C-alpha cells in the first residue's frame, strides 16, 4: 500500500469511527432511555408527572454537568434505574452525550 492510500484509509476509518460513536449513543439512548425521556428528549406528560422526568431543554437539566449525568445514569437516581453493569462506560457516556445534544 502506498502512502496516499494509507492516508486515505486512515481518514475514512476516522470518519467512520466518529459516525459509529454518534450512532452508538443514539442507538443506546433509543433502546434504554427513550421510553422515559422521549425520542427528542421531551418525555410524554404522563411519564413526566409520574416519574419526575424533565425535558433535556429544561434549564435545570441543562445545568447538570456531563460528569454528573454519567454518574446518575450509571448509579440511578430516584425512579431511574442504574445502568452500571448493564451498559459499558462508553455506552453510558455516548448516550449522555446524545441526550445532551437534544437539549440544544
Each residue's pLDDT, cut to its tens digit, for the chain (104 residues) gives: 544 444 544 444 444 444 554 568 999 999 999 999 999 999 999 999 999 999 999 999 999 999 999 999 999 999 999 999 999 999 999 999 999 999 88
Q: Which CATH class is domain 25-102?
A: mainly alpha
Judged by DSSP in three states, 43 sits in coil
Q: How is residue 11 written as a grid cell?
A: 481518514
**Helix axis angle, 3-32 relative to 89-102, nearest 10°?**
80
Residue 67 is predicted with a pLDDT of: 98
Q: Is the pTM of this model over 0.85?
A: no
Residue 1 is predicted with a pLDDT of: 52
Q: Tell me, rounded to whole angstroms, the distance of Cα 12 from its chain centroid.
A: 24
- Domain ranges for the chain, please list them: 25-102
The CA distance from 79 to 101, in Å, is: 23
In Å, what is the CA distance from 10 to each residue of 5, 13, 36, 67, 80? 9, 5, 39, 31, 40
Residue 13 is predicted with a pLDDT of: 44
Amino acid at each position: 500500500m502506498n502512502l496516499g492510500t494509507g492516508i486515505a484509509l486512515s481518514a475514512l476509518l476516522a470518519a467512520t469511527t466518529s459516525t459509529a460513536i454518534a450512532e452508538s449513543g443514539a442507538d443506546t439512548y433509543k433502546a434504554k432511555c427513550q421510553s422515559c425521556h422521549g425520542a427528542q428528549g421531551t418525555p410524554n406528560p404522563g411519564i413526566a408527572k409520574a416519574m419526575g422526568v424533565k425535558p433535556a431543554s429544561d434549564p435545570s437539566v441543562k445545568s447538570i454537568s456531563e460528569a454528573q449525568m454519567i454518574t446518575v445514569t450509571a448509579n440511578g437516581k430516584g425512579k431511574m434505574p442504574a445502568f452500571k453493569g448493564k451498559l459499558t462506560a462508553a455506552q453510558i457516556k455516548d448516550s449522555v452525550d446524545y441526550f445532551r445534544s437534544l437539549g440544544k
